[in-house]
């Protein structure tokens, strides 16, 4: 059974293959994190993307395509603004502009908190060392510019509804009511 969920009969390998196929076809039009959240509600766990590997000489290498896919799976994208681009991270429906230092911090924190068994027979510290040595490649704007460019539908006031945004949720204001709602159910995005 897939991750112990009695509702699905797929093996773990079948689920991982289906996920890899879906992710490879992903074009950025649907929020991948939204898909993750829905699937997690049904017992699915996001697979670890091993963006590192050992080459034929047993040297640790970073796969750029898997590293790019990992970043996008964690909500990192580009957003076109006027004639340039911003690097962003989308969490639920909240968008934050990020810089390379924040991306580096995220990747390091991810690697530090990943269970040891995910590294197989490769040293965590050696993977981190390879990332640090190659930082001018893996965290450079020239590489990050290959992240998917997202078209964002921002949440906007309408003639019948207005919206106020807070850290713990957003408020919908109409002529008849004022309602606090959670961001995860909001259609559209906001800048955090």
Structure confidence at residue 139 (pLDDT) = 97
At residue 177, does pLDDT exceed 60?
A: yes
pLDDT tens digits for 57-77?
999 999 999 999 999 999 999
For residues 48-58, average pLDDT: 93
Residue 154 is classified by DSSP as B
3 state SS of 72: helix
Structure confidence at residue 7 (pLDDT) = 58
Nearest to 143 by CA among 82, 83, 81, 87: 87
Q: Across the chain, where does the E strand assignment appear?
A: 52-54, 60-62, 76-81, 84-91, 94-97, 149-150, 162-166, 169-173, 178-181, 190-191
Backbone angles phi, psi at 123, to 5 degrees: -75, 130
At residue 1, does pLDDT exceed 50?
A: no
pTM for the full model? 0.75
Beta carbons within 8 Å of 16's beta carbon, 6+ residues apart? 47
CA separation for the pair 99, 162 (Å, rounded):
31
Cα distance between the two ends of the chain: 39
At residue 52, does pLDDT exceed 90?
A: yes
Mean pLDDT value across the chain? 86
Residue owning tokens 């490769």: 122
């Amino acid at each position: 059974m897939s991750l112990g969920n009695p509702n699905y009969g797929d093996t773990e390998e079948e689920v991982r293959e289906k996920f890899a196929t879906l992710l490879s076809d992903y074009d950025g039009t649907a929020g991948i994190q939204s898909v993750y959240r829905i699937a997690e509600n049904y017992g699915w766990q996001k697979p670890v993307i091993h963006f590192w590997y050992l080459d034929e000489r047993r040297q640790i290498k970073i796969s750029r395509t898997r590293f790019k896919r990992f970043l996008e799976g964690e909500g990192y994208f580009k957003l076109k603004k006027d004639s340039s681009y911003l690097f962003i991270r989308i969490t639920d429906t909240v968008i934050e502009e990020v810089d390379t230092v924040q991306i580096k911090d995220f990747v390091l924190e991810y690697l530090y908190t990943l269970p040891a068994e995910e590294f197989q027979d490769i040293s965590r510290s050696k993977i981190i060392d390879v990332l640090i040595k190659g930082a001018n490649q893996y965290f450079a704007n020239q590489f990050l510019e290959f992240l998917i460019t997202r078209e964002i539908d921002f949440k906007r006031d309408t003639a019948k509804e207005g919206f106020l945004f807070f850290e713990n949720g957003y408020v919908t204001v109409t002529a008849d009511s004022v309602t606090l709602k959670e961001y995860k159910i909001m259609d559209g995005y906001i800048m955090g």
